[in-house]
Amino acid sequence: MRVLAAMSGGVDSAVAAARAVEAGHDVTGVHLALARNPQTYRTGARGCCTLEDSRDARRAADVLGIPFYVWDMADRFHADVVDDFVAEYAAGRTPNPCLRCNEKIKFAAVLDRAVALGFDAVVTGHHARLGPDGLLRRSVDAAKDQSYVLAVLTRAQLDRSIFPLGDSTKAQVREEAARRGLAVADKPDSHDICFIADGDTRGFLAGRLGEAPGDVVDALTGAVVGSHNGAYAYTVGQRRGLHLDRPAPDGRPRYVLSITPKTNTVTVGPAEALEVSSVRAERPVWTGGEPPTGPIECEVQLRAHGDVVPATVELTGDTLRAELRRPVRGVAAGQAVVAYRPDPTGDAVLGSATIAA
């Protein structure tokens, strides 16, 4: 096959491209320029958008002996991922930008362009398995598993995707990179949000949305117990950084229960009040076979690297409902609910949807 390997400059995508070459594919490497003003050098371990990352990707492609190009996706990335990220926070939700980037950039804008240019598939270094049965499964490396942020992909997108790393642990990938002479073997993992270079999400949002002081309200008493400089800076389940003026009468810690943009209010309360047993989600995508016509038993995950709980899931029209077998804390609107079918050979993604409430 003629395949396009998306190469971030990290170790995973370099080894994924190497494996695609070894599998006999005709591989072309592409680095996505996502930052409008790329920083020259990395600060810390973050990012995939610096000149150094672009160079690392090019070096890996050179070692593999494959053609390499840089595609400018900065405008699309800003519109579909960064602006969406800001708008979601402004609306009181908690977005997952990696998931949005997979949905809109890597497996949409990039994949569509690749197909138009005559490529058959896109290869990435995601840690997930995609077998001949077409099911997306968790990586053998549970700590690195990225099936959650890929669960948003449609059947058509998965059919043109290749994830060569799902059967390997991160340690094995690094070892292989070293064996293949790829200089990125020891490059630190990227984490956090690539477009917030200093990791200060609250500062980034404040820069975009401005300061908007408002009240922090206790859910039980309705009393104002503190103030904030912008409700968007809070996430459901958050405990740190609330700076409450008045302690709770029972002296127990309080958590963010909800954010109400309309009144610019952050509501706090005790841990138990965070517990959710029923989840409603929108815009479902179902790739684990035919969409179910009635309730099914499966497992759900409600945030990246979050707990997995047994649940009954039902699909009706544009809504996915999940009744959880045991309550879960810290369920935030804007995150994805991903349904998995437990499987000893790797839990399989059935479908996903965006949590509404």
Q: Are 251 and 327 in contact (CB under 8 A)?
A: no
Least separation in angstroms between residue 49's CB and another protein is: 8
Q: What is the arrangement of strands in the sheet containing 255-260, beginning at the earlier edge strand?
A: 224-228, 214-218, 265-269, 255-260
Tell me the window of 14-22, 87-95, 111-119, 332-340 that interacts with another protein (CB under 8 A): 111-119
Q: Which of 48, 49, 98, 194 is catalytic?
A: 194
Stretch that binds another protein, among 83-91, 94-102, 108-116, 287-295 (CB under 8 A): 108-116
Q: Does 72 bind another protein (CB under 8 A)?
A: yes
The dihedral sign for the CA sequence 39, 40, 44, 45:
positive
Cα distance between residue 331 and residue 239, in whole Å: 14
Q: Does 309 participate in binding another protein (rule CB under 8 A)? A: no
User: Which of the 8 DSSP states describes residue 190?
Assistant: P
Residues in contact with another protein, counted by CB under 8 A, come to a total of: 18
Tell me which of 16, 109, 136, 259 binds another protein, using CB under 8 A.
109
Beta carbon nearer to another protein, 34 or 231: 34
Q: Which is nearer to another protein, 13 or 28 (CB)?
A: 28
Count, in order, helices (H) and strands (E) of the chain: 10, 17
Residues 6+ apart with CB under 8 A from 10: 48, 53, 56, 125, 184, 187, 189, 190
* Contact string 9-48 vs another protein (x = CB under 8 A): -------------------x--x-x----x----------
Nearer to another protein, 40 or 293 (CB): 40
Query: What share of residues in the chain are helix, strand, coil (percent, to 5)?
Result: 30, 30, 45
Site string (118-137) toward another protein, x via CB under 8 A = x-------------------
C-alpha–C-alpha distance, residues 55 and 151, integer Å: 30
Residue 49 designated active-site:
no
Among 78, 113, 208, 329, binds another protein (CB under 8 A): 113
Q: How far, CA to CA in Å, does 315 sit from each of 18, 185, 322, 342? A: 40, 43, 9, 19
- Of the pair 81, 349, the CB lying nearest another protein is at 81
User: What minimum distance in Å lies between the beta carbon of 152 and another protein?
Assistant: 18
Nearest to 69 by CA among 83, 57, 51: 57
298 assigned to active site: no
Q: Which amino acid is at 143?
A: A
From the list 48, 49, 98, 101, the catalytic residue is 101
Shortest distance (Å) from residue 126 CB to another protein: 23
Cα 312 from Cα 291, distance rounded (Å): 14
Closest to another protein by CB, 35 vs 165, is 35
Q: Shortest gap between Cβ of 184 and another protein (angstroms)? A: 17
Give how far Cα 44 sits from Cα of 48, 194, 196, 198, Å: 12, 11, 12, 8
Closest approach, Cβ 103 to another protein, in A, equals: 14
What is the SS3 assignment for 257? strand
User: Which residue ranges make up the site for another protein (CB under 8 A)?
Assistant: 28, 31, 33, 38, 51, 54, 58, 67, 69-72, 109, 112-113, 116-118
> Which are the catalytic amino acids?
101, 194
